[in-house]
Amino acid sequence: MAQIAEERRRLIAAIDDWHRRNAIQQCLAQDESCTAPVIRAHSVQGSYVIDRLARDGHVYMFRRGPDGFQLVLEGRNRATTFTGFCQSHDLALFREVDFDGARPFNPESKRQLGLLSLRAVAREYWTKLNVCKMYQRLLCLATAHDVEAVRQMFNVSSLHEETLTTAVQFLRQFLTGTIESTSRIQRLYRSLYTQIQRDRFHLMHSCVFSINGEATIAVASVFAPEFDLEGRQLNTFHYMETDPTDVVLTILPSDAGTHVLFTFHKRHAPKLEPFFNQMKALKEHELKQILGKMVVMHCENTVLAPRLVDALTTTEQLNKIKQIFSNTVFKALPYDQVPDVSLFSTGG
């Protein structure tokens, strides 16, 4: 059993490596019909945003590896990038939210909120397309018990058929869920894209917070919160017929502190607006704690300032983050059952 467990650990590491080397190269603009060469597009703006957090051109990002939680140092030119747009469409779509001193973020602009949301959703959509591609191939090989083909696919020399046999049922369930979630994110992506093209944001609801203090974090992510702040369940992922209340979260550094932006489809307003009203009622230090938990539980596409990671290490907060990662990978927890973690500056 120990040998099988070690093989599975190595296989997970090899799968992650394959994912990096074989990422989809596809421009997602114009209803995914563009065939121009793609670039490494930023889902979090490199200049102005990441540069505000970087030290010596580097930032930290969350990673889930075969041994659990990791914080990885990334160069600012690679952090948050994905091969999901060609250069022409990336510039044309997101020029308005490539901020600088002359073009600041305006929290009252629905168009800017929509563009930032599209950028985050595009990255999530691209990620899920990659996962589907990889697990469809792996499930096909595992079902056929083609151990040698899996060895070649992932460049692993040692792999037993028993490892694949035990993985087939998990792979089948995982792929079914991934296909469903990919379709759901695709619908959200196309909805936002259409609203931007028409400059009419009638289907997008939003909630914006401003946090004081030196900026330490940036996020571009999509997730469905499982619980509200009183422990009431918002989503149940055991039933495929449900319509999860997906939320787009963008966190941006600013001159005065940090902007926290939530957007969601109007059909989810009955569930989500009471949740965000709960958040609006929080004091700032309480809001920071909830947002910190939310980011660690749901948002891998997160950029952390090295000065923040230094502080987390000094205060042993990294152990709490690791605990949250471990406890919430396959299990939904109410916020009051998750340890407090500080990802925002305490300065006011």
pLDDT at 234: 92
pLDDT at 158: 67
**Tokens coding 144:** 């056929």
Taking residues 42-50, report their average pLDDT: 94
Of the chain, the percentage scoring pLDDT greater than 90 comes to: 59
**Averaged pLDDT of the chain:** 87
- DSSP assignment, residue 61? E
278 within 8 A of 217, measured Cβ to Cβ: no
> Which amino acid belongs to residue 8?
R
* pLDDT greater than 60 at residue 91: yes
Q: Which has the closest alpha carbon to 34: 110, 98, 111, 122?
A: 122
pLDDT tens, residue by residue, 227-255: 999 999 998 765 444 689 999 999 999 88
pLDDT at 306: 96
**pTM of the entire structure?**
0.90
d(CA 159, CA 162): 9
Taking residues 83-106, report their average pLDDT: 93
DSSP string, 120-155: HHHHHHHHHHHHHHHHHHHHHHHHTT-HHHHHHHHT
Strand, coil or helix: 330: coil
- DSSP assignment, residue 96? G
pLDDT at 274: 97
Taking residues 165-194, report their average pLDDT: 85
Structure confidence at residue 146 as a pLDDT band (50, 70, 90): confident
- Of 279 and 8, the structure prediction assigns the larger pLDDT to 279
Radius of gyration (Cα) for the chain, nearest Å?
20
**Tokens coding 208:** 């914006």
Backbone phi, then psi, for 38, in 5-degree steps? Answer: -90, 165
* pLDDT greater than 50 at residue 3: yes
**174, burial (CB in 10 Å: exposed 0-12, middle 13-18, buried 19+):** middle
- DSSP assignment, residue 233? B
Structure confidence at residue 346 as a pLDDT band (50, 70, 90): low
User: Listing from the earlier edge strand, what are the strands of the sheet with 58-65?
Assistant: 68-75, 58-65, 302-304, 217-223, 247-253, 257-265, 204-212
Q: How far is CA 51 from the centre of its chain?
A: 20
* pLDDT greater than 90 at residue 92: yes
d(CA 305, CA 316): 17
pLDDT at 348: 46
pLDDT tens, residue by residue, 206-233: 999 999 999 999 999 999 999 999 999 9
pLDDT at 115: 98
All residues at 6 or more sequence positions from 239 whose CB lies less than 8 Å from its CB, including other chains: none
Q: Which has the closest alpha carbon to 223: 97, 127, 79, 83?
A: 127
pLDDT at 331: 83
38 within 8 A of 91, measured Cβ to Cβ: no
d(CA 140, CA 219): 35
Q: At what angle do helices 110-143 and 161-198 cross, to 10 degrees?
A: 160
Strand, coil or helix: 315: coil
89 within 8 A of 31, measured Cβ to Cβ: no
